[in-house]
Structure 1
């Protein structure tokens, strides 16, 4: 159901896409006119983990301040382009992390005051160690096989389910408190409405396979009160309207907030520029994580898929993202951070150019190793983990050697995981692989991936998450036809793509 305020037929519209990643955030102004989307960066900002009292946390107050600044800038940008302002707002972010919100205050008239609930405690990050050992102990209550049958979600240590088992705060919350995923928490701060968007809910390890409701069996086993969880909302539905006090503060008008694919990967995969919507689409959403898999019409929740570590996340329009998490460009960015902390000046473009001329096939790591999950001295960890190939008697020592090792290892892992996904889904290897997100600009990795798989790699769009966010808002406003393929056609009309053909046989 798309019940947002309609747009003027044929006229240009401007919307704001709030897109929060695990290392950076942005508010993008999306202007839809003449059958294409123009994306303008209204505001970009860093998002850094804080280590406080031995716990990794997100600074949700700082993020909220940056989002408000970005919405003001997006509104001003729309006005500068001759539009009346923003027609809507959509929010997406990384998955699994949550905030706890107390009950709304009661006004003088006895009615609750929307948006007045206090954020209780910190938003703990998925990279924190509090869930160490939790999946194993929880499996003694509900087996891994049973969990997978119920949810279709791979048992990752950072799943929301396991975070809640490790969290002692819910037991002491006042009545009327709510758990909200990060984008839903920001949606609450904007509108006062408490909802959980389905694509993000699917990543929690608590939503029943198919996405129609929470798994009562798992909530009971985890000791989670169902009343703590907000009602579900689907992508394309209207969450609410910006609160009056924020209308005054931001000067943006009574703008509707639309639920998009709030799990950033759901929005990114929606923006995969595939031309044929009738067949499964192979993709990598490449950023901090590399999320590699297939867009399917139904989950694959077999025992073999469980053992292979694949997960079934909810997508827009009832699709399933059958995928596996690989620790993508996080390995490179964290290595660069170590080198910079040691006093080196590192330019990523220069580093990739140096890696491109390094001798090939000398070292390998396993990018799926949980040892690479936590931050800190990544270059040292990669060097020690690298196994030598072709009779090498040393380890990667220079930054260029190390990055070449990381990228070659990622490409080989992509090949292995995509072949596995196709085998599990009982389909042949597709003719092309779409790479979207920030990693789509990494020409060396794209070429290595094409070579490893022996198929064409289509790179772009880089800002896939924001484009998917904007496209779905446009459809909810009535400015785009309702078909899934129409949204992808809009994306294709809005971006330039780069194609990489295999230069060597796969193997």
Structure 2
């Protein structure tokens, strides 16, 4: 079963957003009432990596058990609020990883993680058959060693799969466990390195080069379409009934960008999905699959309603959190808010690093690496205090954001927008937001922090008929649901317009 949802609730209703990250997961209850979304945490849990069958893998069985617990908890929370339970469920997660589901519904082997080393050198080998420039022209996706394309090319299980086996990306695999239906959601499919740029179709040339049969994949489903209903025996076991499961922007960044609280005059929308890493770019109507974009390291990921997220993945608060971890391992007690407050008052523009330097990708003594890499802009030799070091990191990040957003605009041939929207956990970092406004010379709008869950809930609500199916309606709903903070460039801003 798939297709549009039937006309849905006209009054308050509750939906469950299953949101899986690479280190943790959660089930959120979204209550939509009087033109606003209220988010309530139902259940949070750890996401664990383990070595199984010789590969670094996700414990999908543990995730599934936690998800079931979370759905029951979300249902109970809805009842407490006087609602009749859940009206629907949506699932989003990280990208690129997949489960192999046999014809009988049993999983074939483990869900191998993108951090596993099986893809080492695979991209280079595949480039001998189909050059990287050709891959980008066909798909618009930057070549990353963990792309699903390279994982499948390295997967020695494919040669012996039972007929009828399907490769389902992680949120699609959860959808299968919920409903028994096999589908491939388009926003996540776009990240695989195999989907034709701007199309709802696999690239035959890419699949042929990798030796992957198109029959391995399930039919496509778009955000807002109904995947199916919760299996009767599962719904009875969880006490939630046969609830519709609606496809959302199942790549978490797709849901997060959907919840950017932009207005129509903001087009094209400039955004940063900010957390451990920062995804910075533009929301466009069509991909930018030029060789210049390829050389610059940008990628084109599918968004909700046929949009394209033209973006680059750059360093984020990882450098700060890893520095704090080093200091705490040395016995110091560090409070992030206190550290940021101290960084805000120390003199600025004294040091710089390149946050994209590969030396910062791996964990371990990051504070020492930042100090050693810091380039003095004046007479000081290196950052001597944690506050000075964090100030160096944040100023360097802000300048990187400036350079990458300006590059995105040049490549897309659009003017620099009047404002930049920062969503996700990093939107709470007032110092970084102000430094970014100063560097770019444009306004920064910070929030919402819970963008992924809001986007997940909003697309479900639209599918249920509770949100108008018209341009800008979801973003209007988000703006009505959250408090935003604005940061205008100070008089010393460095932006170029």
TM-score w.r.t. length of structure 2:
0.94
In structure 2, the CA distance between the partners of 1:428 and 1:125, relative to structure 1 (3 Å rule), is same
Provide the residue aligned with 1:218 in structure 2. Answer: 206
> What pairs with 1:82-481 in structure 2 (closer than 5 Å)?
82-104=82-104, 117-276=105-264, 279-394=267-382, 396=383, 398-481=385-468
Per-residue deviation, 1:62: 1.9
Contact 1:326 1:368 in 2 (8 A): yes
Match of 2:118, SS state, is helix
In structure 2, the CA distance between the partners of 1:81 and 1:287, relative to structure 1 (3 Å rule), is same
Q: Deviations over 1:259-313 (max 9, x none)?
A: 0000111111111111116721000011122110010111111111111111111
Match of 2:399, SS state, is helix
Contact 1:18 1:27 in 2 (8 A): yes
In structure 2, the CA distance between the partners of 1:54 and 1:119, relative to structure 1 (3 Å rule), is closer
Contact 1:22 1:288 in 2 (8 A): no
Q: Distance in 2 between matches of 1:375 and 1:171?
A: 36
Contact 2:99 2:168 in 1 (8 A): yes
Q: Structure 2 unaligned segments of length 5 or more: list them.
A: none
Q: Deviations over 1:459-486 (max 9, x none)?
A: 0011011111111000000111101301
In structure 2, the CA distance between the partners of 1:85 and 1:56, relative to structure 1 (3 Å rule), is same
Provide the residue aligned with 2:33 in structure 1. Answer: 33
Q: Structure 1 unaligned segments of length 5 or more: list them.
A: 105-116
In structure 2, the CA distance between the partners of 1:477 and 1:99, relative to structure 1 (3 Å rule), is same
Match of 2:82, SS state, is coil
The total of aligned residue pairs comes to 493
Q: Deviations over 1:15-53 (max 9, x none)?
A: 011111222222111111111111111112233434568
2:18 aligned with 1:18, yes or no? yes
- What is the Cα-based RMSD across aligned positions, in Å? 2.0
Per-residue deviation, 1:397: 5.2
In structure 2, the CA distance between the partners of 1:125 and 1:335, relative to structure 1 (3 Å rule), is farther
Q: Deviations over 1:423-453 (max 9, x none)?
A: 1111111110000111101111111111111
Contact 2:266 2:419 in 1 (8 A): no
Contact 2:52 2:110 in 1 (8 A): no
Per-residue deviation, 1:231: 1.4
Q: Distance in 2 between matches of 1:96 and 1:433?
A: 27
In structure 2, the CA distance between the partners of 1:351 and 1:300, relative to structure 1 (3 Å rule), is same
Q: Deviations over 1:293-343 (max 9, x none)?
A: 010111111111111111111010001111111121233333333444444
Q: Distance in 2 between matches of 1:371 and 1:129?
A: 18
Provide the residue aligned with 2:43 in structure 1. Answer: 43
Q: Distance in 1 between matches of 2:320 and 2:49?
A: 17
TM-score w.r.t. length of structure 1:
0.92
Per-residue deviation, 1:60: 1.8
Q: Distance in 2 between matches of 1:388 and 1:278?
A: 37
